[in-house]
Amino acid sequence: MNLIVIDLEWNQSASGAENTVPELPFEIIEIGAVKYGEGGKLVSEFSELIRPRVYRKMHNYTSKLVHLQMEELEKGDFFEKVAERFFKWCGPDYLLVTWGPGDIPVLQQNLKYFEVPLINDGPVAFVDAQKLFNLSEEKQTKNRRNLEYAVDHFGITKDIPFHRAFSDAYYTAQVLKKLLDKDPELIKFESFDTTIPPLDKEHEVRIVFPTYEKFISRVYENRDKAFKDRETLATRCYVCGKRAKRKIRWFSMGDRRYYCLSECEEHGLMKGKIVMHPCSDPEGVFLIKVLRLVSEKEAAVVEKRFNKVREFRKNNTNSRKAKKPGKNTSGLIPEDIGEE
Ligand SMILES: [Zn+2]
């Protein structure tokens, strides 16, 4: 399989939201990529400008950051042609690597809009080198670093300017090499882009990482239908496959996130988290469930959260009995999921 490190530059409406095409908020104007070979050797390069057709005026931000002018882009080819050459260059079996999660959704949107075959007609697996950098060097995943920070961190020579597609792909590949030299297993921490969610059971994603399991469900008509599916709420231990006993049932703090706590006899406490994602084409929802073995301390956080919800519900029920139906003043609408 070819590892393709890719970076895109894109343009957007220069005259604000009212002139934005909803199906194409960002139009790709440049694709840069390198083929990452054995031991991080750069096998081959790809760099092409794209002649825009939707946004023909450069957005202020784009011209400032990317240093590209419309006259230059006019020399490029149309997106369909460039995309076709790009995927041919990638080869039949490839995995994309990016810096951050932003490029793949924009690529999928552009492919869809210009009617070029999608990377995948469901979630796209890719490697987010920025995430790997955080996992390896920062020991945290919340505060993301920019590419130049990572380049400096590893003392990589800055011999070409940043913020052009090819150079950023080139630097991402250099950072990736440093990361994989330290720990080749990092490459297993794939990310998934859900611009196109799974439309049926066949496209659902279930993947076990070294420290957690991720499940991306198909699209359901609505949340209630999603929860009726036994698979949605199931908490099997991802290490041994046995049923983990529920300690705290699924609950929510009133937003799109749901939590539970289970326990595998052999492997211990396991936290469940579901995030509900709305979807417009087709209309409905899909969910991403993450199961993770946790320490007693982490489990206590879930329990504390659950108690807060239970407390709130108790108070709310009492006040409703006493007075008229009470307004929820805390902004929390805790709820139970009709489970088992
Ligand atoms: Zn187990």
In this prediction, residue 280 carries a pLDDT of: 87
Q: Are residues 127 and 263 in the same domain?
A: no
Picking from 157, 192, 227, the residue at the C-terminal end of a domain is 192
Residue 262: pLDDT band by 50, 70, 90 thresholds?
very high
User: How far is the centre of ligand 1, averaged over its atoms, from the C-alpha of 69 (Å)?
Assistant: 57
Q: What CATH number has the domain bearing residue 181?
A: 3.30.420.10
In this prediction, residue 80 carries a pLDDT of: 97
Mean pLDDT of 68-93: 93
Q: List the Cα angle 56/59/60 in 5-degree steps.
A: 145
> Is residue 140 a part of any domain in this protein?
yes
User: How far is the centre of ligand 1, averaged over its atoms, from the C-alpha of 268 (Å)?
Assistant: 7
- Cα separation, 183 vs 178, whole angstroms: 9
pLDDT higher than threshold 90 for residue 247: yes
CB under 8 Å to 49, separation ≥6 — which residues?
Answer: 29, 30, 68, 72, 73, 75, 76, 77
> Is residue 30 a part of any domain in this protein?
yes
User: How far is the centre of ligand 1, averaged over its atoms, from the C-alpha of 229 (Å)?
Assistant: 23
Cβ(267)–Cβ(239) under 8 Å? yes
> Is residue 332 a part of any domain in this protein?
no
Q: Are residues 30 and 48 in the same domain?
A: yes
In this prediction, residue 136 carries a pLDDT of: 93
Q: Are residues 66 and 180 in the same domain?
A: yes
pLDDT higher than threshold 60 for residue 339: no
User: How far is the centre of ligand 1, averaged over its atoms, from the C-alpha of 247 (Å)?
Assistant: 15
> Is residue 214 a part of any domain in this protein?
yes
Q: Are residues 262 and 220 in the same domain?
A: yes
User: How far is the centre of ligand 1, averaged over its atoms, from the C-alpha of 307 (Å)?
Assistant: 26
pLDDT > 70 fraction of the chain, expressed in percent and rounded: 93
User: How far is the centre of ligand 1, averaged over its atoms, from the C-alpha of 236 (Å)?
Assistant: 8
**Which tens digit of pLDDT belongs to each residue from 194-213?**
999 999 999 999 999 988 99
pLDDT higher than threshold 60 for residue 275: yes
User: How far is the centre of ligand 1, averaged over its atoms, from the C-alpha of 126 (Å)?
Assistant: 28
Q: Are residues 130 and 216 in the same domain?
A: no
- Cα separation, 300 vs 46, whole angstroms: 50
In this prediction, residue 321 carries a pLDDT of: 54
Q: Prior bond to 282 cis, omega within 30?
A: yes
User: How far is the centre of ligand 1, averaged over its atoms, from the C-alpha of 234 (Å)?
Assistant: 14
pLDDT higher than threshold 50 for residue 94: yes
User: How far is the centre of ligand 1, averaged over its atoms, from the C-alpha of 235 (Å)?
Assistant: 11
User: How far is the centre of ligand 1, averaged over its atoms, from the C-alpha of 238 (Å)?
Assistant: 7
User: How far is the centre of ligand 1, averaged over its atoms, from the C-alpha of 241 (Å)?
Assistant: 6
Q: What Cα–Cα distance (Å) separates residue 208 from each residue in 216, 239, 241, 285, 290?
A: 12, 9, 11, 23, 10
In this prediction, residue 320 carries a pLDDT of: 55
> Is residue 335 a part of any domain in this protein?
no
SS3 98: strand
How many domains, the chain? 2
Query: Which residues constitute the domain of residue 232?
Result: 200-316
Mean pLDDT of the chain: 89
pLDDT higher than threshold 60 for residue 330: no
User: How far is the centre of ligand 1, averaged over its atoms, from the C-alpha of 239 (Å)?
Assistant: 5
User: How far is the centre of ligand 1, averaged over its atoms, from the C-alpha of 237 (Å)?
Assistant: 5
In this prediction, residue 337 carries a pLDDT of: 57
User: How far is the centre of ligand 1, averaged over its atoms, from the C-alpha of 154 (Å)?
Assistant: 38
User: How far is the centre of ligand 1, averaged over its atoms, from the C-alpha of 296 (Å)?
Assistant: 16
pLDDT higher than threshold 60 for residue 231: yes
Sign of CA dihedral 102, 207, 170, 3: negative
pLDDT higher than threshold 60 for residue 229: yes
Q: Are residues 141 and 29 in the same domain?
A: yes
